[in-house]
Amino acid sequence: MKKYSLLLLCGLLMFGLFTSCAEKTPITTNTPASDSALLTPIVEMPAITGNAGGSPGGSASMISLFNYQGRRYTAASLYRANEEPTILELVGEKLGYASGSINERSSLEEHSTEFSGSVTGDVYAVNGYSVNFRLCQVIDAGNIEVVIFYESFDSNELTCGLDLFGGYLHLADNWKQVKYIEHSNWDNLHPSEYVYHDLPSVSDEDINAFITELYSGRFENIHETPERDSFYSQSTQAHLYFLMDDSTRIELRMFQGGYVGYQYYDWYFIKMPGEAFDVIYENAAYMQALEQTDTITDTPEVLLPLASVSSGASEQPPNQMPTLAPEPEQPLHEQTTIRDPLPEESQTWQDAYAWLLRESDSKEFFLCDIDSDGVPELLIGGPEDPNNDSHNSYNAYAFQGNQITLIGDVYTRTDLWIDNSNGIYGYAYGAGAGEAYRYYLSHGLLSFDCDVSGYYYDDKGNIIFWFRSSDGNEIIVTDETEAEYQRIQNGYIRLERFDITEANITKVIYGGN
């Protein structure tokens, strides 16, 4: 593939940028102690089985990370040797052994110990990359060796695109192909199922012009700007993949307005509006829009609180969801009468719900009085994937006027909670973050309040807990605000989940033994 050299340009940029780019201010860090069951940090480990370096696996209850020489390394991309045989050539010298000795409640001293972390196993340098940025582990997953990269980001060091994409990732001189995937593909499928597309009407010169602008741009922390509230909820975005000569890939995420970010650098984006951005973005995003238009059906859209937040990372929007939204003008769903009339014997909510449960093919149910009117609502559903119980969806029903009515959907990755404010709460987690979000009944239908509290990891690996005040503002948990945070957390009551069995129908619905 034809590529012109950017070495001279890089040299000029290094001279100019390092003297003109102001240092960024790190996110304020706090590490409050919290025993809240609702907001215990949970982040998926890479989706494989087996152990690193022949040792027991690390805890899956927090982000995959370890410490080395005063830096925090968190899980990034993953490569299977059977798919990329040359990836093992990047595994360098052994640097030490990660102890897997910390969790989300470990002390600051424990967090700072050399090779402490949430994963165990041998840690290696990565040939061709700075140890200040990228290290790796090799996982024995049965008959397959898997290489997991761990990367360290310091916003004081990474002020310009050249610092990351040039100095650490060597993008300009080592890319060989550029592909994109549809946002719906990225949002809903496992990475092994992605379908990659060529960029239409994009030349090598276009790509190199894009890299030039990317190198010269400055990083912005979107989390500290007004755009953060709606940034990750944009329906149109582009997912760009640079396939590199050494079998690695660089995943970029692009948003309208000229924003380009490295997938594993959370809220930090280069802002580079202009023709170089537009050529790439419009080809990827516009072609996705065309493809989605061709596949539109009459099936109504179901809005979930978090769209498939996934692993390491993936997984999904890092850190936080948009701010507390006002009560929607339109409910998420229209009322749907399940059966009118119900069987003649179904004159009470107990008989109606018992009938519905017996008719259901779902696995489990919850019973809770969301609006405290004395007649409970029934939630029926379970795991979306029978082999994975970390994505759970439930249809919510109410008994109204001798009818069962479908009033909405509820989604959670773990359990459900209720409080005394006529709301039920789900919980989702993903790439170094978790959020609790509230559903409530309004005009007989289930509505969604967006996120109400959560946690995320800053770029130093510290856990930041937060919650929303009564006026909708986001409050970071500090010594001064922890009492209010704990008061809110203590108000959550975990709902009991029941398998759909005749015994549980008798016990839970009818109050029998």
- The pLDDT tens digits for 117-151 are 888 889 999 999 999 999 999 988 777 888 999 99
Report, in this order, helix, strand and coil percent for the chain, each rounded to 5: 20, 35, 45
212 and 129 in a single domain? The answer is no
**Total number of domains in the chain:** 3
C-alpha distances in Å from residue 345, one per residue of 349, 359, 406: 11, 15, 20
Whether residue 40 lies inside any domain: the answer is no
81 and 224 in a single domain? The answer is no
50 and 196 in a single domain? The answer is no
Task: Enter the tokens of residue 189.
Answer: 């499928």
pLDDT-derived band of residue 374, with 50, 70 and 90 as boundaries? confident
Whether residue 359 lies inside any domain: the answer is yes
Q: What is the pLDDT of residue 85?
A: 86
Q: Which of 131, 152, 173 is the last residue of a domain?
A: 152
Q: What is the mean pLDDT of residues 273-298?
A: 65
Residue 9 confidence (pLDDT) above 70: no
- Of 86-90, 344-348, 473-477, 488-492, give the range with the top mean pLDDT: 86-90
Residue range of the domain that includes 60: 45-152
Q: What is the pLDDT of residue 109?
A: 67
Task: Enter the tokens of residue 318.
Answer: 């890092």
151-165, 271-285, 417-431: which range is least confident on average? 417-431
Residue 357 confidence (pLDDT) above 90: yes
Q: What is the mean pLDDT of residues 88-115?
A: 80
Q: What is the mean pLDDT of residues 111-117?
A: 81
> Rounded to whole angstroms, how far apart are CA atoms 392 and 413?
6
Q: What is the mean pLDDT of residues 323-332?
A: 33
Q: What is the pLDDT of residue 288?
A: 53
Question: By the 8 A CB rule, do 104 and 41 touch?
Answer: yes
Q: What is the mean pLDDT of residues 489-508?
A: 91
Task: Give 317's Cβ-side CA count (13 Å radius).
Answer: 20
Q: What is the mean pLDDT of residues 55-60?
A: 30
pLDDT-derived band of residue 318, with 50, 70 and 90 as boundaries? very low
Question: By the 8 A CB rule, do 160 and 17 touch?
Answer: yes
Q: What is the pLDDT of residue 41?
A: 37
177 and 302 in a single domain? The answer is yes
Residue 490 confidence (pLDDT) above 80: yes
Q: What is the pLDDT of residue 501?
A: 93
162 and 132 in a single domain? The answer is no
Whether residue 340 lies inside any domain: the answer is yes
Q: What is the mean pLDDT of residues 383-403?
A: 79
Q: What is the pLDDT of residue 55?
A: 28
Whether residue 9 lies inside any domain: the answer is no
Q: What is the pLDDT of residue 505?
A: 93
Q: Report which DSSP code applies to 117.
A: B
Closest CA to 381 of 489, 493, 302, 492: 302
Q: Which residue has the higher pLDDT, 318 or 500?
A: 500
287 and 358 in a single domain? The answer is no
**What number of residues does the chain have?**
513
264 and 356 in a single domain? The answer is no
Residue 323 confidence (pLDDT) above 80: no
145 and 183 in a single domain? The answer is no
Residue 498 confidence (pLDDT) above 90: yes
Whether residue 34 lies inside any domain: the answer is no
436 - beta bridge partners? 427, 453
Place of tokens 């937040």: 309
Whether residue 327 lies inside any domain: the answer is no
Dump pLDDT digits (tens) for 239-259: 999 999 999 999 999 998 899
Residue 295 confidence (pLDDT) above 70: no
159 and 143 in a single domain? The answer is no
Q: What is the mean pLDDT of residues 401-410?
A: 84
Dump pLDDT digits (tens) for 197-213: 998 889 999 999 999 99
107-111, 335-339, 446-450, 492-496: which range is least confident on average? 335-339
Q: What is the mean pLDDT of residues 58-69?
A: 64
Q: What is the mean pLDDT of residues 337-344?
A: 48
pLDDT-derived band of residue 226, with 50, 70 and 90 as boundaries? confident
3-state class (DSSP) for residue 451: strand
Query: How much of the chain exceeds pLDDT 90, in percent?
Result: 29
Q: Which residue has the higher pLDDT, 208 or 492?
A: 208
Residue 397 confidence (pLDDT) above 70: yes
Q: What is the pLDDT of residue 487?
A: 86
384 and 441 in a single domain? The answer is yes
Average pLDDT of the chain is: 74
Does an H or E element contain 306, and which?
none
Whether residue 371 lies inside any domain: the answer is yes
Q: What is the mean pLDDT of residues 284-308?
A: 38
Phi-psi region of 182 (alpha: psi -120 to 50; beta: other; left: phi over 0): beta
Strand-by-strand arrangement of the 175-181 sheet: 197-198, 175-181, 237-244, 249-255, 259-262, 268-271, 219-221
178 and 307 in a single domain? The answer is yes
Q: Which parts of 188-305 are beta strand (E)?
A: 197-198, 219-221, 237-244, 249-255, 259-262, 268-271
Q: Which of 295, 311, 327 is the last residue of a domain?
A: 311
Task: Enter the tokens of residue 192.
Answer: 């092994």
Q: Which residue has the higher pLDDT, 274 or 126?
A: 126
356 and 504 in a single domain? The answer is yes
- Of 11-20, 178-187, 242-251, 292-301, give the range with the top mean pLDDT: 242-251
Residue 32 confidence (pLDDT) above 70: no
Q: Which of 152, 176, 196 is the last residue of a domain?
A: 152
Question: By the 8 A CB rule, do 178 and 243 touch?
Answer: yes
At 297, the amino acid letter reads T
pTM above 0.75, yes or no: no
Whether residue 37 lies inside any domain: the answer is no
